[in-house]
Amino acid sequence: MAPEEIIAALGMQRHPEGGWFVETFRDGDGTGRGASTAIYYLLQSGERSHWHRVRDAAEVWHYYAGDPLLLKISDGKTVQDIRLGTDLAAGERPQAVVPSDMWQAAEPLGAFTLVGCTVAPGFEFSSFEMAEPGWQPG
């Protein structure tokens, strides 16, 4: 499928950090934050997930389809690069964990990448922080 077809099929909308998303799961009874949340997230060529962090929750990225994704994780000083994908022999991994309060950014290494992100405890925009435009760790 083309990225536009995936976006339509999954009912995705623009994400403030870049790309497209749709929440697929929110654990709990609806009265509080919940134990976890899950989304589909898609980036097309030329789009990126800008540097951001979730102050009080860990985030697990899951690769689903398309080209590999370059995920960058930083403590603000050093950067770790992780390639999400299915070519294990080339060092790609289908999953990566971003600990709470760590900076992260991502970009597709081709036409598009479809991933999932699971956040625990559940994602809340009040705990989400985007870096200033042009900010780079280190």
Looking up residue 71, the CATH number of its domain turns out to be 2.60.120.10
Contact 54, 109 (CB under 8 A): no
Average pLDDT of the segment spanning 63-77: 98
pLDDT at 118: 98
Number of domains, the chain: 1
Average pLDDT of the segment spanning 110-128: 96
pLDDT at 13: 98
The verdict on residue 136 lying in a domain is no
The verdict on residue 135 lying in a domain is no
- Give me the chain's average pLDDT, please: 96
Beta-carbon contacts of residue 127 (< 8 Å; ≥ 6 apart): 54, 55, 56, 57
pLDDT at 127: 93
Average pLDDT of the segment spanning 83-111: 98
pLDDT at 29: 74
- For residue 30, pLDDT over 80 is answered with no
pLDDT: is 98 or 29 the higher one? Answer: 98
The rounded distance, in Å, linking the Cα atoms of 38 and 53 is 16
pLDDT at 131: 95
Q: Which of 11-20, 28-37, 53-62 has the lowest mean pLDDT?
A: 28-37
The verdict on residue 73 lying in a domain is yes
Looking at residue 90, its amino acid is A
pLDDT: is 138 or 80 the higher one? Answer: 80
Whole domain around residue 66: which residue ranges? Answer: 3-130
